[in-house]
């Protein structure tokens, strides 16, 4: 099938590469000449495991290419996906300006005949209907027939390719039978249950999913606060809770909260649309609040321990909002580092992938090193923000020798407190007793 995808972020580029890999002819439209040049040269621009190889393989096979131009891509396509960003606006609403601009542009280039416009961007209920009207208003000929499909995306950064090929479900919202049939055909090699529904339900499924996952995380962190106050062990409590099949174990890992380009934005947007609808949405406000508190408790506990009178050297491991990505949008690590630097301490940070973004964010306010051992050399304390695999079995004896004080604050529970005690560390983690 010939398809076009507008947008080459995590969703657009991964979706495009996967569909190309299944043998489709895919054009990806962007708006920055330098980025389009690099993408055509095989550089995915983002760090996502397996993506560079997948992209290069399909470029070589000439199944994917990148362009700045809507013409002739749109008129040659049976399906056009819109996968541009919907960032948070000042009032918390999803900013739909990119979606509107792109849809208008797509509409002006639709072919004579039949096309499907599928919205992958995360958009509030009512947006697909609005886009349908926008296209109808913009097209110049009655022969430009189209249907709109809401096709929300559920991939996670770090496991994006696998999630796209083997999702739990493919959600398709539309009131057109022929559009659904075409979309089912396109998704045929992709795994997962099919959920065929109407436009508003498809739109809401995405927000409900992300908000429930964020709710699970905040609930787990709330239980961690209880554990810290009572001496109970949060991972054990939550493991037992999650063994109830009705609850499930995933997304109950305690830590310093959720970040990234999706959960914070989507929870805010759902709160905002709830307000517009006059709905009581305190649940999600509390989810956000707990997420904030999780970060603050962590930085406060570090500062309580090391004080703020004497400047200390703090080693930081992990900057990205989660492992296996270089993405630092809404990264809890940024909030933690900010607090430590503001308190007057000297931070030396290491992350396997996110150093560039850290440099852009902090400039020379913090030091960046390309080796985790170099970060801990002569440091008064080690702070862990992201649970990268390479920290799990790192040589902790060496870490202890390099640190000035064997003190660790671990925001992601990477190590076992018993082991750390044996090794002679003072080890603080989340929702578990500190061993000294
Ligand atoms: C999330 C959803 O999981 C995807 O299904 C969705 O498609 C995507 O948003 C999106 O809307 O585009 P992502 O943001 O890539 O994916 O990452 P997650 O793996 O969901 O993690 C989000 C945050 O939650 C991270 O900061 C992670 O550290 C934190 N988290 C996750 C926890 O603190 N505890 C957990 O148990 C799980």
pLDDT by residue, tens only, the chain of 436 residues: 999 999 999 999 999 999 999 999 999 999 999 999 999 999 999 999 999 999 999 999 999 999 999 999 999 999 999 999 999 999 999 999 999 999 999 999 999 999 999 999 999 999 999 999 999 999 999 999 999 999 999 999 999 999 999 999 999 999 999 999 999 999 999 999 999 999 999 999 999 999 999 999 999 999 999 999 999 999 999 999 999 999 999 999 999 999 999 999 999 999 999 999 999 889 999 999 999 999 999 999 999 999 988 999 999 999 999 999 999 999 999 999 999 999 999 999 999 999 999 999 999 999 999 999 999 999 999 999 999 999 999 999 999 999 999 999 999 999 999 999 999 999 999 999 887 6
Residues with CB under 6 A from ligand 1: 122, 153-157, 210, 213, 217, 251-253, 255, 258-260, 262-263, 321-322
Strands 64-67 and 79-82: unpaired
Q: Judge whether 389 and 351 are in contact, CB under 8 Å.
A: no
Contact predicate 339/370, CB 8 Å: no
> Ligand 1: which of 263, 287, 353, 412 to mutate, most ligand atoms within 8 Å of CB?
263
Q: Smallest Cα–Cα separation from 9: which of 83, 120, 86?
A: 83
Q: Where are the alpha helices (DSSP H) in 247-328?
A: 263-276, 282-306
CB contact set of 35 (below 8 Å; sequence gap of 6+): 8, 45
Q: Ligand 1 mean position to 156 CA, how many Å? A: 6
Beta pairing class for 346-350 and 367-368: parallel
Ramachandran class of 316: left when φ > 0, alpha when ψ lies in -120 to 50, beta otherwise: beta
| φ, ψ of residue 332 in degrees (nearest 5) | -55, -30
Q: Is 227 noted as a catalytic residue in this protein?
A: no
Nearest-CA residue for atom 2 of ligand 1? 156
Q: Which two tokens stand for residue 10?
A: 């995590």
Peptide bond into 370 cis (omega under 30): no
**Six token digits for residue 228:** 């810290």
Name beta bridge partners: 116.
79, 147
Ligand 1 mutation target, pool 156, 209, 222, 223, most atoms within 8 A of CB: 156
Give me the pLDDT at residue 436, please: 67
> Within 10 A of 377 (CB to CB), how many other CB atoms are there?
16
Question: Which residue, judged by its Cα, is nearest atom 16 of ligand 1?
Answer: 156
CA of 324 to the centre of ligand 1 (A): 12
Chain centroid to Cα 72, Å, comes to 32
Residue of 258, 292, 391 to test ligand 1 pocket, by largest number of atoms within 8 Å of CB:
258
288 contacts 259 by C-beta, under 8 angstroms: no
410 phi-psi bin (left φ>0, alpha ψ -120 to 50, beta other)? beta
User: Tokens 């902790």 — which residue?
Assistant: 396
Catalytic residue among 183, 252, 262, 376: 262
Ligand 1 atom at minimum distance from 257 CA: 33
Sheet hosting strand 346-350, strand order edge to edge: 367-368, 346-350, 313-317, 381-384, 407-410, 426-428
Nearest to 131 by CA among 105, 113, 111, 112: 105
Q: What pLDDT is recorded for position 310?
A: 92
């Amino acid at each position: 099938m010939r398809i076009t995808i507008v947008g080459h972020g995590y969703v657009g580029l991964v979706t495009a590469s996967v569909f190309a890999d299944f043998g489709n002819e895919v054009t990806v439209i962007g708006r920055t000449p330098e980025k389009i040049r690099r993408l055509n040269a095989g550089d995915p621009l983002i760090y996502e495991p397996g993506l560079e190889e997948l992209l290069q393989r399909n470029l070589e096979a000439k199944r994917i290419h990148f362009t700045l131009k809507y013409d002739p891509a749109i008129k040659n396509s049976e399906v056009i996906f819109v996968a541009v960003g919907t960032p948070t606006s000042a009032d918390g609403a999803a900013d739909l300006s990119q979606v509107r601009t792109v849809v208008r542009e797509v509409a002006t280039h639709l072919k004579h005949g039949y096309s499907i416009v599928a919205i992958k961007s995360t958009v509030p209920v009512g947006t697909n209907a609005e886009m349908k009207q926008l296209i109808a208003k913009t097209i110049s000929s009655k022969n430009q027939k189209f249907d709109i499909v809401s096709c929300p995306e559920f991939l996670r950064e770090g496991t994006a390719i696998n999630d796209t090929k083997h999702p739990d479900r493919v959600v398709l919202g539309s009131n057109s039978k022929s559009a659904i049939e075409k979309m089912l055909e396109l998704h045929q090699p992709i795994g997962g249950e099919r959920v065929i529904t109407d436009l508003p339900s498809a739109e809401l499924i995405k927000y409900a999913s992300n908000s429930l996952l964020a709710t699970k995380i905040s609930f787990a962190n709330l239980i961690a606060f209880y554990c810290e106050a009572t001496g109970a062990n949060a991972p054990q409590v939550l493991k037992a809770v999650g063994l109830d099949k009705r609850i499930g174990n995933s997304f109950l890992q305690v830590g310093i909260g959720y970040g990234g380009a999706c959960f914070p934005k989507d929870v805010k947007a759902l709160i905002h649309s709830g307000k517009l609808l006059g709905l009581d949405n305190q649940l999600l406000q509390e989810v956000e609040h707990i997420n904030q508190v999780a970060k603050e408790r962590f930085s406060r506990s570090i500062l309580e321990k090391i004080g703020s009178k004497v400047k200390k050297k703090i080693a930081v491991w992990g900057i990205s909002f989660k492992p296996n990505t270089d993405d630092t949008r809404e990264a809890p690590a940024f909030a933690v580092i900010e607090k430590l630097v503001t308190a007057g301490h000297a931070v030396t940070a290491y992350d396997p992938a996110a150093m560039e973004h850290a440099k852009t964010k902090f400039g020379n306010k913090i030091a960046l090193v390309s080796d985790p051992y170099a970060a801990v050399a002569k440091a008064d304390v080690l702070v862990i923000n992201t649970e990268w695999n390479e920290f799990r079995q790192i040589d902790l004896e060496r870490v202890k020798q390099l640190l000035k004080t064997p003190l660790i604050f671990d925001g992601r529970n990477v190590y076992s407190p018993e082991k750390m005690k044996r090794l002679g560390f003072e080890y603080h983690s989340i929702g578990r007793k500190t061993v000294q």
